[in-house]
Each structure stands twice: as structure tokens, then as C-alpha cells.
A and B are shown apart, each in its own frame.
Chain A
């Protein structure tokens, strides 16, 4: 079989190009709103339905539960569809809707897998520690995407539906923005909405308990995180980005675009006047927002310069989340401006003037910087997920996770990215509860040396561990936790059963190009609720590494690097339980089972 070079068999392609809207249909064909998305190749049934059997597979099923009908599914392998790179963008052809949904969802999955350094899977039902093998009915093996599930101005991820429901509705008769009054608006044609909902599904698959609303930050975090992912995607749409860079003079952070000949002063009056020419890069779901009479995109990245203090009691999770989004974008623009400044300096040195229109090579260079920075920020955000405690997360935890992930990934930090993050969060008073100082070292989760070794873990390979390796890992981890005083070491409550909802091997490239292997383990303990009490959860995220700052990276040299705890016991446990109780009572949650705690996205996204 070595002489395969002589085989005439065609190999399966790596990529499948598909046409989609870069934003949504309301932007028409201007400005690269039609784009070609190169998604991973998977064998597909009509739908499209992924037939690969991979753990991250998706299926588009066009069932309309409002009308109780099915719409004709698209066959992406039909030559008439293949040759022109998919069906051309159209609002009236449901097959294009299915194609776009499939393409954007696949792309989002790939982005996450790239950043996380592993393949993802969908939500798994909660199991005890030594559960029998096999699938449970609530496990999601294929994420179902329903492009026209309901006649509602809503789209939401629902584990009960094993997927995401996208609604459609008629735009307002009055004030529909760029839409025709009464026209049908499809949420499944909004790039942003698809990415946002996919992010919810992906995060729910990564961490089984992240969706449990135990403090006001939880739902807000999910909304903010999903918005961030969608927003950072905007910076990969090159044509739009170039146009925005030209029209903002490189100042991407301006919410309004200026008409070409206008000077800065005039641009400001435009800003004051309103938003006729809005900057698409920092706005989410434009058509949806307009159609519903809100005059602008659904949420804007840089509005609301509020602090946490002012919003102390904002339980409305989008508003609360918008602070986090604004903080991250503040950091992003700080880094972008630093990087862009170098190019401006070069341009000036070569005789350019700031007030002129940007020369094309400079615009190109700025465009590259924006894309690179956005990619870096997205990856930081995605990676930070692995550095979060397994339950009860807060914005402060997210900052600490970001700082730690960044430190692990790029210890030197020449561009002062970490400083930008810190300052942006500090301006909004998003502060961790437990860090002693607001310094880089204090904000990172405390890293341990290599004194606590974990023996006998298999490393697997970049394609993920085999079944046997997973079994072996589970056995080693159980042995490790039960050993000696390791419970205390791992901040686990004594005498409470624990579960290991997930562990993941990460194979990531450091900034210097070296490969690093880490194992992220979630350990969760639960005190069940009763008719009068709320359930409480605690636990730790344990990051086991081969890669100490001293060098390392030798097989068998495996140690606990981070323990990121949310203890169930002690003073901290009592404080959390009290806070959770107060919060849940305010929400009006009934005491009882843990299923009560989960965020209901159908409600959160209800028309928003």
C-alpha cells in the first residue's frame, strides 16, 4: 500500500466553501455582506445533517412547530449546489437558510476547537461518579438546529430540544428601520444570532454546571460571552473591516462611520445626530434590532460606560453583561490602538498626514492588526473557559481566568495585553472578590510548583484520548483525589461525594511555538436541595500540567499546576451559600432540585 501515489482515487476535500451573509439580509449586497465561508468538510445527508459520527456533529432540521410543517431540506452535495459554492443568498429560499445556518454553526465550532486545542462535544447529562457506561436520553450527541422553529422574535438554545430554536417574525409596521414594514425577519439569517446561540451550546457542552444561575453574574456572563464571540467574528470579515477602517480613519472604536469627505468635527455632529451610518463592527444583529423597533443593533459593544457599582442591582442580564462586553472591548481597542500606532508612526515618517484619507497599504496593515488582535482576544476568551471554577462563576473569576490563561500562553506579554485587560476591568469596577491586590500576579490564579505529582496519566494524542486512555485517566484521577489529604489540597469538602463531570486533554501551541499538554479536570460536589433548601454546589477546576515555567515538559513529570476552587465548606462555602440563597429567593426560584437553577434562554432571549 505504499505506492498510493499511483492511486487514482479522489481524496475527500478538506474544506467545503459555502455562501452566507456576513451580517444579515438587511445590509443587502453592499460591502461584502455576501461572503464565502470555508467550513470543514463533513459527509452530509440532506438537511444538512452531519453523518460523520464525530462528537461535535450538527444537524439542521427544518421543522416549524408553529405551523407544524417541515420545509424542504437542502442537499449540499447536489452538483447544482456544489458548483456555485452553495445556494446564493436569498431570504425567500429556506434552503439557503439551512445552508447558512449549517455553515456559520460549523465555522463557530471550528473557531472554538482551534482556540481550545481540542474537539468539543455537546451537553452531557449529569451522572454520578461511577455511572454505568452508555448514553443517557438527555445527552446531546448531535446538536440539532431548527432554522424556522417558531413564529417568535426569539432564538434560543434549549437542551430539552437538543439544540437551538430560531424564530422568525414580521417586522413592525411602524418604524422597521431598514426593513420593509411587515417583512418577515429570520433570526437564522443573522450571522450574529447564530454565533451567539452556538456559543451557548458550546459552553454548555464544555462545562455542565456553567448554566446554573447561582449569582447574578452567571446569566450575564453567558450573554456577554456569546456576544463577545459574535463581535470578534466581525473583525474577520475583511471587506467590511477595510471599509470601516477607511471610514473611521483607523479609529474602529467610533460607533458611527463618517461619510467619506467629512472631517472629525463633522463626524462628531453625525454621532450626535443619530446612527444613520452605524459601524457594523461593533453592533450585533442589526436587522433584528431594527425590525423590532429598537432603532439600532440588538446590543452595541461600546455603549453603556457604566460601572458595576452603578449596576449593583441590575438583574437584567443583558445590561449586566454589557458591562463585561464593554470591558473586554475596551481592552481590545487599547491593544489595537497600540498596535495601530506603530503603523501610523511609520506612515508619518514616510511623509503621511493623519488627516488625509488612509493610504491603502496603511489601511491594509491596520486591517491585519485588527484581525490579529480580534483573533487573539477571542482565543483568550475561549481559553479562559478552561481556567474558570466549575460552578458559580463571577465576572471577577473571568478576569482571573483570562489573566492566568494569558500568562500561561504568553508569559512575556510584550504588547501589554494583560495590562489592557486589567485597566479595562478596573475602570468598570469588575473586581474579583478574593484577589488581594489588583496586580498581575495577584490576579492570576496561584500557580503551584511541581511538588504535587500525578502519576500514571496517559497523554493521548492531539486527536483526543482513546476510550482506554479515558478510562485510565478517570481511574488515575479518582485515585489521586482519594489519596491522603488531597481533598484538602484540592479545596474539596470532606465527607461529600464528588463527581468528575469532565476532563480534557489540551494540546496547545505556546506563543514560542512549543507544544504544551495540560489536563483540565472538573471536580464537583453537590449538597442536594430539599423542599425548603436550595441545592448548593462546590468544587474545583484542577489543571494538571507537564509544563512548568522552569521548562519541564518531560513525560512522567506531571503535576498539579492550578487548583481553582469554589469550596462548598468553610467560611467561603457558607458565604456563597448565603449569597446564592438570597439571589435565588429574589429570583423567586423554588427550593428543590438542581434543575431549577439552569438559565432558561427562552426567557432571557425573549425578544432580545
Chain B
């Protein structure tokens, strides 16, 4: 192959591609970047097998189409440090030359067949959405996904379409965040996939223009995104997402509305005493008032009061304050609403429009 392109564009592409390429892999071929010169474009492909990115550079002069597999990090570093404005990539025997002005680097290549097949974005059946919408749904939910050992299905974000709506749900088994937003398409049908949190975060990184209209595709084994510059793929989690709909209480007896900022501040205040040997803070509510109480055997106890709107039977429910604060950080409205039935059943927080956060309570069985 032989391609002439702008150095800056090549640098950007290599940076994006190498950001997913692992330093060390049990499958050595993926430590490389895969170059594909088609008639009118140069593509840079990188993958760690969990996620893959295909970066496309349009304004290039392809003298001879072809492919090459070269060590990713060396290539990226060399191009970064080049001074010239244009770069020529051409194969010479089994090697690839990167030339710019008087400077040249010759890299050994590997048989491209050793590189895993990275899919192409399928336009048909894809769904269009605003980049900002996608990013917002990810940040509203991803914090609730599981991070450590446990059921792997919970390490991802359940992503679904229903008509003109895109919905994401994440849970770690103790709390659950669910948010939805409108798609650009009128009817996207009903699709579903569990996308690893890591893949979703890569998607957000690649979308640098929030106003851009991007396309997503729910593939058989991958979740795919296409922006003007790049295609990104994330392998789906093969597992069963917890059946969450049953835990969202359809009707509740108790309902509390509080100022989100004040509640956050009071929770942090009380949580100061509870972290060492206890987790729970107790929320005791009665008409017009909320008392937040925490106690630890080793440090002492703390109490805070705040005015609230409360409708229901006066009572107490306890939560892990870290979980509440995590959710409140993402609260989009001034007031937060908490609804629940009893002290052992889930607490439902409404953090914004189409944004629900469920937290399981802590019980103390003395």
C-alpha cells in the first residue's frame, strides 16, 4: 500500500486507536494497529478484543490500496514526534515505511490475517441519537453498575429501545439507576443489549461534539457506534440482566420531597460518624420534618434535621449514605422525591425527568 496523508490527522487517529490497544496481550497480534487503505480513505483499527475502534481519515491520497499490521505504540510515538506536515506510508517488502520529509521509520509488519476481524458498522437498522443524549444517559446510570466480583451481567449497562425512546439501566444488586431519553427516530422498534460499562465510557470519549447526530446499531454480539470520524464497537455481555422491573414499586404509601442540595449536605454531615463500623444512616420522617441520624459504636452519633414535604405514615428507613450521595450528585432537579412502602422494601428516588434511582434499605435486626 501507499498513502499520503496529513500528519496531524494521522497522529489523532493513532492516538484514538492506541487508546484501546493493550500494552501486553495473550494474543500478541492485538498489540498492533491495523492500517487499511481503501480507494479514498485510510482506516486505523485498534482493539483489545473487548472494544474496538475504526478511525477513518478521509482526506488522503491513496496511490496503492492495501493493508498493514504494525506495532501500535512505536508508530504512534514516531508520528507524534515528526516535524513535517505530511506523511507517506508505504510498504516495502515485509516492512512499512513511515516517511516525512527527510525522516523515515521502517517498521516490521505481521501478516494481517493474524489480526482479528473487526466488524463494519451496519447502517441498515441503525438508530440515530444526539451525542449529548447518549453521554447523558451513560453518566446518569453507569455509577450504579457493579465494579467488583459478582454476576458479570451487572458489570454492564442494559441498553434498550422502545419506540422512540432510548433507555439505560445499571445495577450492582443493591441499587439501580434507570434513565431514558428520546431518540431522533420516530420508531426504533424494540432492541436490547447489555453493554460493558467500559465500552460505554469509550463511546463517550470518542464523541467529541455533543451536538452531533450519531448512529448506534444493536448487533448480534456487539454494540456499535458511528460518528463522522470513527466507528466504535463493544462486545456485548452474554448473560442475563437481573429482572429489575419487579423491584420498582408501582405504588407507594410514603412520599417525601426534599431540597436536593440540603439533603446531600445533611447526609454528608451525618455520614462523617458512620463510616468505620456502621454503614447505615436512618431517615426518620414525620409531617414536615426529616431527621437524619447515624451512630457508630466507636465514634459516637450525629443527628441532623431539615424541613421536608412528607405524606405518609411517620416512620424510619435506613440507607447506606454513600449510595444516596452517589445518586444525589446526579440529581437534575432542585427537589428530590423519595417513595417507599416499608423499611425493608426498596426506596425509589426520582432524580429528574425520566430518571429513577432505586436503593435497597439497610435493616438492623437486633
Tell me whether A and B are bound partners.
no
What residues make up the interface of A, taking CB atoms closer than 8 Å to B?
Answer: none
